[in-house]
C-alpha cells in the first residue's frame, strides 16, 4: 500500500471538486446584474472612456456606465429616467411575421 502525502491528497480532492463543478460554459447567476448594453453614456451620450475612466454602478439589477462624474451625479438625482433606457435595451423586439 502506498502512502500519499496530505498535500497531494488535498490537491487531488480539490482538483476533483473543481472539475466536478465545471460545466465548461459560464451561466449567469440570478444575482448578477444585466450587462450594460451601450457603448455610450446613458446620460450624456458620450463614448465611454472618452472623458476619462468609465464609471459604473448597479441599480435595480442593471449595470449602468457613465462617461464622467457629472453624468453619474445627474443619474443619481433622477435614476428612473435613465434606467428606463437601459431596461428598454434588454427587452427583446417582437417577431414580425413575414
Summarize pLDDT for 57-94 with one digit per residue, the tens. 999 999 999 999 999 999 999 999 999 999 999 888 77
Q: Give the pLDDT score at 19.
A: 41
Q: Is the pLDDT of residue 15 over 50?
A: no
Pairing of strands 55-59, 62-66: antiparallel
Q: Give the pLDDT score at 71.
A: 97
Pairwise CA distance, residues 65 & 56, whole Å: 4
Domain limits, the chain: 32-83
Which pLDDT band holds residue 98 (cuts at 50, 70, 90)? Answer: low
pTM over 0.75: no
Pairwise CA distance, residues 63 & 41, whole Å: 12
Amino acid at each position: 500500500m502506498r502512502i500519499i502525502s496530505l498535500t497531494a491528497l488535498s490537491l487531488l480532492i480539490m482538483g476533483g471538486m473543481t472539475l466536478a463543478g465545471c460545466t465548461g460554459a459560464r451561466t449567469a447567476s440570478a444575482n448578477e446584474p444585466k450587462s450594460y448594453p451601450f457603448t455610450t453614456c446613458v446620460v450624456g451620450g458620450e463614448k465611454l472612456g472618452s472623458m476619462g475612466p468609465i464609471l459604473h454602478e448597479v441599480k435595480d439589477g442593471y449595470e449602468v456606465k457613465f462617461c464622467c462624474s457629472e453624468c453619474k451625479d445627474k443619474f443619481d438625482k433622477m435614476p428612473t429616467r435613465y434606467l428606463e433606457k437601459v431596461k428598454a435595451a434588454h427587452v427583446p423586439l417582437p417577431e414580425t411575421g413575414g
